[in-house]
Amino acid sequence: MNGIRLLPRRIFAFVARDFRLFVSYRMQFFLRIISVLAVVTTLFFISKISAGFTDPRFTQWRDPFATWLTGLAVLNYFMTGFSSLANSIRQEQMQGTLESVLLTPINLPTVIVASSAWDFLETTFFSFLYLFFGRVFFGVQFRGSFFLAVIFLLLTTVVLACLGILSASFAMVFKRGNPFGIFLGAGSALFSGVFFPTQLLKEYAGPTLGNISLLLPTTHGLQGIRQVLLEGHGLSQVTQPLLVLLGFLVVLLPFSLWVFSRAVRRAKREGSLIQY
Amino acid sequence: MIAVAESAISIRNLSKTYPSPFRRLRAFFRRPVKEPVEALREVTFDVHSGEIFGLIGRNGAGKTTLTKIVATLVQPTTGTVNVRGNDSVFHDEQVRRQIGLATAEERSFYWRLTGEQNLMFFARLHGLSDRIAKQRIRELFAKLELEEVARRRFGEMSTGNKQRLAVARALLPHPPVLLLDEPTRSLDPLAAARMRELISSLAKQDPPVSILLTSHNLAEVETLCERVAIISRGRIRAIDTPQHLRGLTSKSEQVHVTVSGLNGTNESERISFTRQVGDNELDERLRDLQSRGARILDVETLRGSLLDVLEMYESKGETQ
């Protein structure tokens, strides 16, 4: 009970700490803003090459520039949901600060969630920046319910956070961070339809490889958000990706929490939690 | 003399063996399997309320594992640790509310944050409100003479200041139990003396702080601690007052008496003899000197040191 009451204060402690660390690298912050602008501008000009040649089968790709921007913004967010949980504990382990944090009356799940909070805030800002630059400098129009899009965003992020919990468990026991990172990072960019329609994979690489995209929560999350933001669909038209994401959540949430509790027990027994 | 015999830390039959990681997996792939490491075996002792309890032993003797188990960072294989009635495994959060740990490990702070910002972060994790935390940090900075470096980044502080900051962090939530791992290792002689004074005053304050002190500085342990445990190869070999422990190595002691006025001269003279611990020879010799008109200027006794005791148990362990 006391832990729940103190949770906001503890999350604030981590956010305040990370904000201070963040502003101690000011130049990096400005360079990142510039790099987002450079990516958005580059995508705008690449989209001009294919203007008017879009395949009518791919309804979400009528304006490839807008589709890429939503893809990048959302992928950025999903990857944070997935990787920050594992990275947070690994980073504290490597810095040598995990021991001193764990000496306070705070439990490990709180440490993991609270130390990821700043990553989410930062990613929200930079993801928003993709859409903001697209809208302000290149006139991209977004329609549909932003509320529904946010629900998709949160749901997919929670599903990916379950994978992140599995990854954090792995980092705790094996002292290696992000083991699923390569699969989900590169895999999502290739198979989730961030840069091109997933149907093309099936056509060119065959159904086996093409169906990999269906196994990734990012594919369904991205599909739902684009249907809402770019095609203006309502809730009744996006039930399929919504149900798939809920299915992922029902399976992954209890499983990841079970694995995590086992990992914490093992790490404490072996004394590997505070090693790096 | 211990005024209150209530236990602040109670350790019973504590053993810790670090298992060989992924033993079956390694064996399956025919990779070399490391043997499990026994760090502690059947350790039992109590630290009383308001007591400064010393733990001495060589590197790798098990001091750090023991401290980490008390601090709930590592779980014991068998046995129990209770901190003011709370079990370190089943009520670990309660235990952490009661303890502060200061180590000489510099990497336990955020190097790009100032000393003040670092402490503020940890104070918030302890659940202190910002107002109380600021006030407490000010108090601790004054007590540990850190005011001048409060706004300096941790990475730019001297080693001694970093160590003092670690002690300040341990004291943040007013813990009734303090675990100190070489608290004066990097301090200059003056700062070390002040730190010892602080440690001593903590145990005397009301309510008192119970302290488990691990150190390689035997003179410091002898000065500060009411009782000392000698740990070697994961086992507690002896627990007693420093005075009694010193008596374990030898039953005799060297006595040097400095006197003046003997034989009608004003020059000081040093008389040395060996006596058995506990006999009347010292009284008799002093009485005899005084009856001969001598003024006793100084009496110095040299018995086996804690180092001798440590060496004795180490050599016993080797022959076992």
pLDDT digits (tens, 9 = 90+) for B142-174: 999 999 999 999 999 999 999 999 999 999 999
Instruction: Tell me which residue in A21, A103, A270 faces B101 most closely, judged by beta carbons.
Output: A103
User: Chain A partners of B172 at a C-beta cutoff of 8 Å?
Assistant: none
Residue B1: which pLDDT band, with cuts at 50, 70 and 90? very low
According to the model, what pLDDT value does residue A182 have?
A: 65
Q: Is the pLDDT of residue B243 over 90?
A: no
pLDDT digits (tens, 9 = 90+) for B79-137: 999 999 999 999 999 999 999 999 877 788 999 999 999 999 999 999 999 999 999 99
B113 CA: distance to closest CA in chain A (Å): 7
Note whether A104 contacts B125, CB cutoff 8 Å. Answer: yes
A125 CA: distance to closest CA in chain B (Å): 23
B205 CA: distance to closest CA in chain A (Å): 23
User: Chain B partners of A107 at a C-beta cutoff of 8 Å?
Assistant: 93
User: Chain B partners of A17 at a C-beta cutoff of 8 Å?
Assistant: 110, 113, 117, 121
The vertex-B29 CA angle with B28 and B35, nearest 5°, equals 70
Q: Is the pLDDT of residue B250 over 80?
A: no
Residue B2: which pLDDT band, with cuts at 50, 70 and 90? very low
According to the model, what pLDDT value does residue B137 have?
A: 96
pLDDT digits (tens, 9 = 90+) for A71-84: 888 888 878 877 88
Q: Average model confidence (pLDDT) for chain B?
A: 88
According to the model, what pLDDT value does residue A176 have?
A: 65
Residue A178: which pLDDT band, with cuts at 50, 70 and 90? low
| Contacts of B30 by beta carbon, 8 Å cutoff, 6+ apart | none
Return the residue of A nearest to B96 by Cα. A105
Is the CB of A10 inside 8 Å of chain B's CB atoms? Answer: yes
According to the model, what pLDDT value does residue B166 have?
A: 94
Instruction: Tell me which residue in B19, B105, B112 faces A270 most closely, judged by beta carbons.
Output: B19
Which of A81-90, B267-276, B281-290 bottoms out in mean pLDDT, i.e. has the lowest?
A: A81-90
pLDDT digits (tens, 9 = 90+) for B283-312: 898 999 888 888 899 998 877 778 888 888
How far is it, in rounded angstroms, from Cα B125 to Cα B135?
Answer: 16
Would you tell me which residues 99-118 of chain A have a C-beta closer than 8 angstroms to some C-beta of chain B? 99-107
SS3 state at B309: helix
Q: DSSP string spanning B25-91?
A: HHHHTTPPPPPPEEEEEEEEEEEETT-EEEEE--TTSSHHHHHHHHTTSS--SEEEEEETTEETTTT
Distance, CA of B65 to chain centre: 14
B202 in Cβ contact with B178 (< 8 Å):
yes
Q: List, in sequence order, every residue forming a beta bridge with B270; answer none if it has no partner.
A: B258
Q: Is the pLDDT of residue B62 over 60?
A: yes
A265 CA: distance to closest CA in chain B (Å): 9
User: Chain B partners of A117 at a C-beta cutoff of 8 Å?
Assistant: none
According to the model, what pLDDT value does residue B29 have?
A: 79
Q: Is the pLDDT of residue A5 over 60?
A: yes
